[in-house]
Amino acid sequence: MRNLVPSAIKISTLEPAYNEQISDTLSSNGVQESIVAAAFDVDRGFIFAASEDAQFGVRIWRTPVDPCEWDAPILCGSFSTIDPKVLSLRVIGESAQLILVTRSGDTVTWQLDDSGELISGPDIVGSVDAGILSVEWSPDDTLLVMITGDENLILMTSTFDVLSEAPLHTEDFGEDAPINVGWGAKETQFHGSIGRAHLKTSPQSPTPIQEDPNDDGLPRISWRGDGAYFVVSSLARQTSQSVKARVLRVYSNEARLQSTAEIVAGLEPSLSWRPSGNLIASTQNETRAGPSDTQRTGKHGVVFFERNGLPHGGFNLRGEDRDSRIKHLAWSSDSNVLAVHIERAHGDVVQLWTTGNYHWYLKQEISAPLSTHFTSVNWHPEVSMRLLLTSPLQIIQQDYAWETCAGANGTGCVGVIDGQKILLTPFRTQNIPPPMSSHQLSSKTLTDALSGGLFLSQVPHHISLSQSHDLLAAVWQEGHVMMWALQTRIMPGGGAAMNPILIWSANLPRELCHYRQVIVSSENSDDDHRTISAAILGSDVNGNDRIVIHDFEHVILPFKSISVTGSRTVSLQQKNGRLVPHELPGHLAWQAPDGSIFQVHREEESCSQICSFTEYCPSSQRIDAHLFVGLSAGGKVYTAILNAESTVLASNVNSFTVASGFVIFTTTSHDVQFAPLETVVAILASCQGNDKTVELASQAWQKRRVERGSRIMPRGNLETINPATYGDLDAGLWRKAFMACRKHRIDFSIIVEHNQDIFMAGIPAFVEQIEDVDYINLFLTSVGRSQLPAEVVANVCDSVRQTLEDKDLTKYVNSILTAYVVKSPPDHEAGLALLLRLRGVNPSLVEEAVKYIIFLVDADRLFDTALGMYDFSLVLMVAQHAQKDPREYLPFLRELRALPQYYQHFKIDDHLKRRTKALRSLSLAALDYLDIHQLHDEALAIWQGTDKYKDVLGIYGAWLFDRHEYHQAATVFVEASDARRAMISYERALQWQELFELCVKEQLDGDEIADIAYRIADELFSKKRFSESARVLLDYAKDVRQAIHSLAQGNEFAEARRIIALHGNSELVDQVLLPCALDCRAQIGDDINEMREQLCKQVARLMELRIKKVEEPDAFYNYDDPTLHNVDVMTDLSMAPTTFTRYTVAPSATSKASKRSSKTKRKMERKLGSGRKGTVDEEEYILKSVTKLVERCATIQREIKKLLPHLLQLSQTHRDEGVGLQVDFDQLQSELRAAIEDIWKKKPDADEPAVDSWATRMQEKAKEQLVEPLQRVFKPEMSTSEWRLKLLQVQQKLPQ
């Protein structure tokens, strides 16, 4: 599906100018001198040509091979001869000789120097008296085959030593004559009763083959590419039973006849053996002589033969060429292009044919200059696409290149030249393999009446599809241009795929010649108008490139016909450049032969260099205003941006294109790679020098395997690759993207890799759209085998599995098992655990699922995995479905079941060679033992310095945690490197400094630290540790508002205001600080009122108690004489108690008291300290309460001292509240001070003489129990620190 397009041309003319006047003179007087042969000097880079002249004989000309040098050929030698008929001209590189062979039989040589000069005169090294009819050198220039005038075939070396000489005509078939043993012949078969009589046919005279009047009768010789064989086409000898006819004979390189082909009717002299060796090309003309001629088919074309002489297909010429004479055939050195030299009455043409899918395409048609004739056609022996033509006065060198004509991505249209037809296929809607196509556009042209009788070739030289709109343009060699609007149908439905309309055609100026490229571009002016530009590249008479630009502005849609609104011609000072395909008219650029890229300024009709490729790239493309991509002949893809050198993107490339934001290229490694344009541009813009190449080479582009030899839209089997899958993925069309990947054999991992975050979030939708279990299994298997990181694969498998479990566990059980198995590393245990869970719900489903997982994983491996899970029922289930022999595993399982749990685990792990786990199983028993018996200290001593030390620490820490010893537990967990449990313990202990230090060390993310900060701040707030709560919120939760709230609740308004000012959150003053200040003032006011009320009640009660103590001491002290406890009130004997008897009977009381239990004693002590009303301890309790009230007053005083400055400054309302607060607290202090003085007023001591007696001492002892509470409760001291604000005192004195 590629086109053969001209890339360079070189014309060397013998005369200084070749115009119509000279042409008329030559046509009237006859050409006196004519170039008839040419040869490449590969080593020195020259073309040598030989001209025939009746006056001068043979003259030798030389011109450089460089296509950019159009100078006239230089005469470098001559050879005088009477019959200057040249048969062959050849440069022998090994001997540095130029060898000329003439029809008269002379072989002439010239010696060459390194500069290509002829350093010797003509040397006739040999002569054949009978003359020479045909001559041909072998491809390696080591052998020469001649056919002499007396029809002898001579084989010579390059030094002209004769190796063989034999007659050309022989009756022998050759060494490869087939042997017929009669197998399968009719004569050897059984024919029944009819017998073999019917096999005897009556003798008939052979059908005569008519002689071709256009056959010159001369033989032709052609070598195979490897030089092992050559073929000779000659006229067979005329006999009495037949006329002369062409026959092909194949010889080895030792001149031994190998095979002889059968005589074919209408076979012509042209002959060329394909260098690859599989086909021998010749031509056949079977034009009927009249209505009665039934022996010929009426065809005229090229026919192919195998080496054994059997025909092998061919193709017919088209149109009027059926009546023309084919003069010569020539294969390109790579065997891809066949040149057919056709003689026409109005001028020769050379057609270039290529093949694909068993179809022969006519790709190019080169017409002879000024309707003359071509005298020779040759291909370069090494440069496969370089063709050398000669006309009587010109040497023409044409270079060609392969090009794919692809249009806009919206249609995916591709155009292929095939003679007068352009084959069009929109691959967006139809994938039609060549040679078929969706539409065949006829591009037949008419001869221009103004062309001076010049013939216009019927095959376009170049075609171009617009990259942005549905337009096609074609240009012919002579300057004829046509443009079509294709009107491709994109939407599904019936009807033709496209309906092309010719919208413009023109003939370009005659001062330019050899038009070789056209580029059509367009852009939308608005919704209904479009601007179109057609740029045509040609050469002037000196070979310099010129660009003819035609603009069509404000074209109304739909297209009917358009007119040129502006025409410009840009002259360039270099030869054989190339227009760079582009999308917008303003992006027109031209590439010079050295790779330099020039921006074409259409308004100024000039150009300026903007960047360059390292070497010339026949295939290139401008992506946008800044990026260029090109493919060199050596397979390197270059990328370049403006004002910078190019960089190699890849070096083993055979085709590329740009689509969907990617540079897509196929390599000789049989894969296609996708390089994102954004990444390429970023690397080119950021790196310098060699760093660009290194950076691009290090990129692992996305790739996929393709068939061997695949190119982007070349030929043969078509495989449509749709990069638009990325758009489906971005749009969440998971099923469409999945089916596209499945259809085009794209790795399903691209669905995950394209945008992992979007895919992970869209897994539920992905499962919902895909739905089919087999498709999901296919996707999971592909992801599991992909080159994605193991963590990504595991996350995808786990997420898909979880979604499937939530959706329908029963339906997707196989997919869930697949997710477990294909993840890296595989989780066989989880898959088996799923089967255990389903066994009691759906036994039949489990049976199929076990078979499925055994299909995915080796049965023995599953058996070991189930055994390692310590679940014998699972082991039995796997063994049964795996059809294992019960005699192998049942005794082993019985033995294991009889063991204790941890020792059983040890035996299993040891059997599975899980040594580490076996050792852990042994240690688990010891750890359980120490935990049960709380042997933590001993265990720590035993396992210190071992791997189990941390496990013991963990057990010890858990024990301390359960005992609510959080601080101790946290320390142990830190020692055990168990940061998580240590943080929990620190949090329970409210040791927030250590907690957040550990959080930072563990590198917790910000959200998790913030959650912890909020929790610990709430706990601190509830413990009234407001400043710490605020610090936590501020430092770790970054919550200024909540921190301000905590500080305000703790009456830390100074700190709160500082933080507000520091962070610039002034709105928090109105939103948080002002309301909290009033709340704080209200709370303190409530406390003051409560304290005043408590003080009043307690002072009043204290007065009552003291009066009662004076007036009724026994009732006050609840006095009960213990001496009367054992006295019967009804006794007849009674006596008044005395002081002595009171104490003498004390032991009985003591004895009673000693009988009280310890629990009762503790209860009585609590009653004595409770200050219950009416008890003897009430007074002491009230005194202690007043003391605590003084302490509370001091605390309130400090709170008020902190609050008053802010009440003064915040607002007038707050200032008024501050004045009231100061007055209230001042009154409370005054009342409290007065109450203290009144309560703790000292009584005068009565100084009575102490009588030292036993009775006195006993009374003193009894009074110790009746000590005044004022003596046991010391008088509290009121705070004397200054707490008032003088400004508020002044405010208080101001009139309200």
pLDDT tens-digit readout, 1043-1066: 888 888 888 888 888 888 888 878
**Rounded distance between C-alpha atoms, residue 997 and residue 979, angstroms:** 11
Q: Which residues contact 785 (CB under 8 A, 6 or more apart)?
A: 822
Distance CA 1112, CA 1133 (A): 30
Q: Which long-range contacts (CB under 8 A, 24 or more apart) does 1175-1183 make?
A: 1175/1118, 1176/1116, 1176/1117, 1176/1118, 1178/1101, 1178/1105, 1179/1102, 1179/1105, 1179/1106, 1179/1109, 1179/1269, 1180/1269, 1180/1272, 1180/1273, 1182/1098, 1182/1101, 1182/1102, 1182/1105, 1183/1102, 1183/1239, 1183/1269, 1183/1270, 1183/1273
**Residue 485 and residue 300: Cα distance in Å, rounded?**
35
Contact 470, 429 (CB under 8 A): no
Q: Is 601 helix (H, G, I), strand (E, B) or coil?
A: strand
SS3 588: coil
Mean pLDDT of the chain: 81
pLDDT (0 to 100) of residue 705: 81
State residue 263's pLDDT score.
85
pLDDT in tens, 456-505: 678 999 999 998 888 999 999 888 999 999 988 887 777 788 899 999 99
pLDDT of 989 reads 85
Question: Order of strands across the sheet with 74-79?
Answer: 33-41, 46-53, 57-64, 74-79
853 vs 991: CA distance, rounded Å: 52
* 756-778 per-position pLDDT tens digit: 888 899 899 999 998 899 999 99
Give 685's pLDDT tier (boundaries 50, 70, 90): confident
pLDDT-based confidence at residue 1154 (cuts at 50, 70, 90): very low
Please count the other Cβ atoms lying within 10 Å of the Cβ belonging to residue 1186. 22
Q: What is the pLDDT of residues 294-314, one digit of tens each?
A: 555 667 889 999 998 889 889
Q: How far apart are CA 1021 and CA 1036, in angstroms?
A: 16
What's the CA gap between 1041 and 1199, in Å, rounded?
22
> What pLDDT does residue 154 have?
95
pLDDT of residue 502: 92
pLDDT in tens, 618-649: 899 998 888 999 999 889 999 998 888 788 88
For the residues 1207-1214, what does the mean pLDDT come to?
79
Helix (H, G, I), strand (E, B) or coil at 1020: helix
Task: Please check whether residue 680 is in contact with residue 688, taking contact to mean a CB–CB distance below 8 angstroms.
Answer: no
For the chain, the maximum distance between any two Cα atoms, rounded to a whole number of angstroms, is 194
Residues 6+ apart with CB under 8 A from 1004: 1012
The pLDDT of residue 1288 is: 63
Which of 603, 549, 615 is closest to 579 using CA atoms? 549
Number of neighbours of residue 7 by Cβ within 10 angstroms: 24
Residue 604 has pLDDT above 60, yes or no: yes
pLDDT of residue 1296: 52
Check pLDDT > 90 for residue 1122.
Answer: no
Q: What is the pLDDT of residue 458?
A: 84
Report the alpha-carbon distance of residue 1138 to residue 1128 in Å, rounded. 18
- In one-letter notation, the amino acid at residue 687 is C
pLDDT average, residue stretch 1130-1149 = 43
Which range, of 513-517, 710-714, 1241-1245, averages the lowest pLDDT? 1241-1245
Rg (CA), the chain: 56
**Considering only CA atoms, which of 48, 36, 172 is closest in space to residue 110?**
48
Element (H, E) at 415: strand 413-418
Exposure string for 495-516, b = 16+ CB within 10 A, e = fewer? eebbebeebbeeebeeebbbbb
Task: Look up the pTM and report it.
Answer: 0.62
Predicted confidence at residue 838, as pLDDT, reads: 78
- pLDDT average, residue stretch 840-855: 77
The SS3 call for residue 231 is: strand
3-class secondary structure per residue, 552-579? EEEEECCCCCCCCCEEEEEEEEEECCEE
- Asked if 386 contacts 337 with a C-beta cutoff of 8 angstroms, the reply is no
Residue 220 DSSP one-character state? E
Question: For the chain, what percentages of helix, strand and coil (3-state, to nearest 5) are there?
Answer: 35, 25, 35
Burial class of residue 678 in the structure, from the number of CB atoms within 10 Å of its CB (0-12 exposed, 13-18 middle, 19+ buried): exposed
**What is the per-residue pLDDT across 1158-1197, written as a single tens digit (0 to 9) for each?**
566 555 555 544 556 656 667 777 778 888 888 878 888 7
**Distant-in-sequence, close-in-space partners of 993: CB < 8 Å, separation ≥ 6:** none
The pLDDT confidence band at residue 37, using thresholds 50, 70 and 90, is very high
Stretch 389-395: mean pLDDT: 92
Task: Supply the pLDDT for residue 863.
Answer: 78
pLDDT for 1157 equals 60
Rounded Cα distance between 164 and 790, Å, is: 73
pLDDT (tens digit per residue) in 104-113: 999 999 999 9
CA nearest 283: which of 266, 296, 263?
266
For residues 1092-1109, average pLDDT: 80
3-state secondary structure of 965: coil
Q: Do 905 and 945 contact (CB within 8 A), yes or no? A: no
pLDDT of residue 194: 61
Q: CA dihedral in degrees (111, 117, 120, 122; nearest 10)?
A: 80
The proportion of the chain whose per-residue pLDDT surpasses 70, expressed as a percent, equals 81
What H or E segment, with its residue span, contains residue 637? strand 637-641
Per-residue pLDDT at 196 exceeds 90: no
Q: What percent of the chain has pLDDT over 90?
A: 26
Instruction: Pick the more confident residue, 450 or 778.
Output: 778
Of the ranges 282-291, 380-389, 726-735, 743-752, the best mean pLDDT one: 380-389
CA–CA distance from 347 to each of 341, 370, 372, 409, 650 (Å)?
11, 8, 5, 41, 46
| pLDDT of 18 | 36
Angle at CA of residue 139, ends 135 and 141, nearest 5°: 75
Q: Which helix (H) or strand (E) holds 482?
A: strand 480-485
Read off the tokens for 1296.
């309200």
Task: Characterise 709 by phi-psi region: left (phi > 0), alpha (psi -120 to 50), beta (else).
Answer: left
Residue 584: DSSP 8-state: S
The predicted pLDDT at position 1177 comes to 67
Please name the residues in contact with 847: beta carbons below 8 A apart, sequence gap of 6 or more. 881
- Between 239 and 444, the more confident residue is 444
pLDDT at 1132: 42
C-alpha separations of 377 from 72, 366, 398, 459, 883 in Å? 20, 11, 11, 19, 77
Q: Kindly tell me if the per-residue pLDDT of 452 is higher than 50.
A: no
C-alpha distances (whole Å) from 937 to each of 349, 925, 930 are 107, 17, 10
